[in-house]
Amino acid sequence: MPSRRVAAKPPTVPSPSPSSSSVDAPPANLATSVKHAAAQQGQGLVAAVGSLWHNYRTQTAPKLKLIDCFMLFLVLTGVIQFVYCFAVTNFPFNAFIGGFAAAVGQFVLLGALRIQSNPANKATFPSLSPERAFGDFLFGSLILHFFVWNYLG
């Protein structure tokens, strides 16, 4: 028979002496320093968003801004459809699925169009003209809406 185990005593932690270094002790005004750090981070976030918005407005081509507006419209349309389905009713469920799939599919096609027609990505798509990218977008949109129309019944 194995020997009986005895529970070990918890280790004793020596209490800190009053002469410990100031590195181990928290600063006396910890709350003030935390608030100051949070304020600096908030200002940094606001500055970063402001810089992002300024660079977007000045460096993005107008046709890409138009695509971005359409993508924002599709996101809002999808969110409104989703909220309506859960808040009010989902009676014609095929209509919800078809409309939501159309919004998501069109968003994906627009994302591909934006990537292909961005002048910064010219090296990635050397043989693809913006007109060809737009033609592919139109063809994909027609196929997408054909399937959505058939799904609705």
Of 28 and 151, the one with more pLDDT:
151
**What is the reported pTM?**
0.69
Of 78 and 1, the one with more pLDDT:
78
Residue 20 is given by DSSP the state -
Amino acid at 141: S
pLDDT, tens digit (0-9, with 9 covering 90-100), for 100-150 = 999 999 999 999 999 999 999 999 999 999 899 999 999 999 999 999 999
Of 72 and 46, the one with more pLDDT:
72
Average of per-residue pLDDT across 60-64: 92
**Residue 45 exposed, middle or buried by CB count within 10 Å (0-12, 13-18, 19+):** exposed
> Would you state the pLDDT for residue 45?
85
Domain boundaries, the chain: 62-152
Distance CA 93, CA 152 (A): 9
> Would you state the pLDDT for residue 42?
74
Tokens of 82: 């989703």
